[in-house]
Amino acid sequence: MFSYPVRIALIAALGGFLFGFETVVISGAEKILERIWSLSPFWQGFTVASSLLGTILGSLIAGAPAKKYGRKKVLQVIAVFFIVAAVGCASVSAWLLFIVFRIIGGIAVGASSVVAPMYISEIAPAKLRGRLAGSFQLNIVAGICIAYMTNYLFVNLGDEAWRWMLGVMVIPAVLFWIFLRSIPESPRWLILNNRDAEAIPVMQKLDEQNVPEAIKAIRQSVEEHKEVLFQKKYFKPIFYAALLAMFNQLSGINAILYYAPRIFELAGFSKADSYSQPIFIGAANFIFTMLAMTLIDKFGRKKLLLIGSVGMVVFLGLTANAFRGTIDGNSHLLFYLIGFIAFFAFSQGAVIWVFISEIFPNAVRSQGGSMGSSTHWIMAAIISWTFPVIVEKFQQGGFYSFTFFSVMMLIQLIFIWRVLPETKGKSLEQIQKDLGIA
Residue whose C-alpha is closest to residue 365's, from 128, 63, 71, 108 = 63
- Long-range contacts from 399-402, C-beta under 8 angstroms, 24+ separation: 399/320, 399/321, 399/323, 399/324, 400/320, 401/252, 401/255, 401/320, 402/252, 402/316, 402/317, 402/319, 402/320, 402/323
User: What are the backbone angles phi and psi of residue 379, rounded to the nearest 5°?
Assistant: -65, -35
Residue whose C-alpha is closest to residue 119's, from 77, 81, 70 = 70
Give rounded-to-5 percent helix, strand, coil for the chain: 85, 0, 15
Name the band, by pLDDT with cuts 50, 70 and 90, for residue 326: very low
pLDDT at 223: 60
Name the band, by pLDDT with cuts 50, 70 and 90, for residue 180: very high
CB 108 within 8 A of CB 115: no
Task: Summarize pLDDT for 115-165 with one digit per residue, the tens.
Answer: 998 888 888 877 777 678 778 878 888 898 899 899 989 988 877 888 999
DSSP state of 420: P
pLDDT at 226: 53
> Between 344 and 391, where is the model more confident?
344
Q: Spell out the residues 6+ positions from residue 261 whose beta carbon is closer than 8 angstroms to its own.
A: 27, 28, 31, 151, 274, 275, 277, 278
Domain ranges of the chain: 4-183+224-434
* Element holding 435 (H helix, E strand): none
Neighbour-count burial for 90-100, b at 16+ CB within 10 Å, e otherwise: beeeeeeebbb
**Residue 1 in this model has a pLDDT that exceeds 70:** no
pLDDT at 222: 61
Name the band, by pLDDT with cuts 50, 70 and 90, for residue 327: very low
Name the band, by pLDDT with cuts 50, 70 and 90, for residue 373: confident
pLDDT at 74: 95
pLDDT at 221: 65
Task: Summarize pLDDT for 23-56 with one digit per residue, the tens.
Answer: 889 888 888 888 889 888 888 888 888 888 898 8
Residue 283 CA to chain centroid, in angstroms? 17
- Segment 277-302 shows an average pLDDT of 84
**Residue 407 in this model has a pLDDT that exceeds 60:** yes
Q: What pTM was computed for the model?
A: 0.78
Fold of the domain built from segment(s) 4-183+224-434 = Growth Hormone; Chain: A; (1.20.1250)
